[in-house]
C-alpha cells in the first residue's frame, strides 16, 4: 500500500474467511481423512428458506455437501444412489436396512450456480427430504422428468476443515 493511500485512509479489503456458508470453487474440504475439492455449488430458495449444495470431488469420488441454516446449522454428506421410486415419491422409503420418513417436500428455485454443478440459475426443482430415526437421510430431486436420489448422513461442523482455493 502506498504512503498516499495510507494517508487518505484507503485500506486493503480484508480477506473473507471461508466457512461452510461461503465456500467457493477450488476450495478444499477435508472430511473423514480425505480431501475434496469444491467443483461446483448450487444455492436454492423455497419461500424464503435457503440452502446450499456443494459438489465435491476427491480420490475418484463425487459427493454433495449440503449446508442449511435452520434453527441450527445442519450439515450433511450425500452420495448419489440408484433407487427406483416410481412416478411420485412415497411417504416412506426403505434403503440400507433403514426406514425413512418424508420430512419435507416442496419446489425450490436455483438462485445461483458456480462451477460444475449441473444446474442453471432460475431453474425450478421439486424436492423430497426423508429422515430415519438416527442421523441418516435420503434426498430426492426432480430435474425435469428425471429423479435424482442421494443417500447421506448428518455431520458436525467440527468434522470439516476448509482450505481456501486459488
User: What percentage of the chain reaches a pLDDT higher than 90?
Assistant: 78
The predicted structure's pLDDT at residue 136 = 97
The residue that leads in pLDDT, 17 or 13, is 17
Q: What residue segments make up the domains of the chain, in order of their start?
A: 3-163
Distances (CA, A) of 45 to 68, 98, 112, 141, 153: 11, 29, 10, 14, 22
Q: Is the pLDDT of residue 2 over 70?
A: no
- What's the grid cell of residue 108? 425450490
The reported pTM is 0.87
Q: Is 45 strand, coil or helix?
A: strand
DSSP bridge partners of 16? none
pLDDT tens track for 77-88: 999 999 988 878
Amino acid at each position: 500500500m502506498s504512503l498516499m493511500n495510507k494517508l487518505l485512509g484507503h485500506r486493503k479489503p480484508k480477506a473473507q474467511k471461508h466457512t461452510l456458508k461461503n465456500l467457493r470453487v477450488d476450495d478444499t474440504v477435508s472430511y473423514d481423512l480425505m480431501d475434496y475439492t469444491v467443483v461446483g455449488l448450487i444455492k436454492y430458495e423455497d419461500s424464503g428458506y435457503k440452502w446450499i449444495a456443494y459438489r465435491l470431488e476427491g480420490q475418484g469420488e463425487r459427493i454433495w455437501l449440503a449446508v442449511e441454516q435452520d434453527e441450527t446449522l445442519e450439515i450433511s454428506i450425500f452420495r448419489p444412489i440408484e433407487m427406483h421410486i416410481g412416478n411420485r415419491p412415497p411417504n416412506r422409503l426403505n434403503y440400507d436396512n433403514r426406514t425413512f420418513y418424508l420430512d419435507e417436500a416442496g419446489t425450490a428455485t436455483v438462485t445461483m450456480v458456480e462451477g460444475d454443478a449441473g444446474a442453471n440459475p432460475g431453474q425450478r426443482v421439486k424436492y423430497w427430504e426423508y429422515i430415519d430415526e438416527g442421523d441418516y437421510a435420503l434426498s430426492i430431486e426432480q430435474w425435469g422428468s428425471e429423479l435424482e436420489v442421494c443417500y447421506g448422513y448428518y455431520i458436525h461442523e467440527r468434522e470439516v476443515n476448509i482450505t481456501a482455493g486459488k
